[in-house]
Structure 1
């Protein structure tokens, strides 16, 4: 029979509190030595243009995160690449060619100090 702990984990999965499981992989050890954050501004903000942008970006394997942000840009993308030449090609052939993209500003990560994948939540029992 299921233990109380296993039942709790299954409930958290069913309630979509736990969204999935995965391994943390060192990007450099799999040939992805460049991490960049690209701030993207759209030229049009209709429901159709944002939906098209979001669905297209979701299919680009180099894009590991996509967030809607406030300020002078509309989206913040985290992108991994083999090197800066590969990132330049990605911008020219993929991201830069997307309909409604009017501006892309790139911030290259020189060194990542840390990355937490654990949320700061209270570990008390969930009702």
Structure 2
């Protein structure tokens, strides 16, 4: 069973996932604690794995990384060995920012970020298809992002939050 969160822990998590750059004093003020108890709670949330890491979100457009593709991948033979080979390769490809196994006819969905169509084509030819274990790749180019958030919906985990 997952460790229980109290409402103060949940509020700390919500605040930090909106802005991890806040000081402990600022977080403490927002949740009504002094800095030391707030720091201990944050440390405990990190130690227990509720907080995996803190990151900075970058603007892909300003960096010229605004070509986004979702690729649905089917392996020629989804054996344990081929799954391991594919997942090890994906782990080393910086263009793949998300990878998930999926149910259905296909095996994986990848979210790929590159600078343009030519960079994507090069990725497709030199990395993905060169594995020789991919039997099909259906690419879906994103024309416009509608919603892209990193914050988890803490409001729906009320069974894990105690009063």
Q: Quick check: TM above 0.5?
A: yes
TM-score of the aligned structures, taking structure 1 as reference length: 0.91
Q: Within 5 A, what are the aligned runs for 1:44-59?
A: 44-59=77-92
Counterpart in 2 of 1:30?
63
Shift of 1:94: 0.6
Specify which of 41, 46, 53 is matched with residue 13 of structure 1: 46
Superposition RMSD in Å: 1.9
Structure with the higher fraction of residues in strand conformation: 1
Shift of 1:51: 0.9
Counterpart in 1 of 2:140?
107
Counterpart in 1 of 2:75?
42
Counterpart in 2 of 1:80?
113
Structure with the higher fraction of residues in helix conformation: 2
Q: Unpaired runs of 5+ in structure 1?
A: none
Q: SS of 2:98's equivalent?
A: strand
Shift of 1:126: 6.0
TM-score of the aligned structures, taking structure 2 as reference length: 0.72
- Report the structure number with the largest CA radius of gyration: 2
Counterpart in 1 of 2:5?
none
Misfit runs of 4+, over 3 Å: 122-127
Q: Unpaired runs of 5+ in structure 2?
A: 1-34
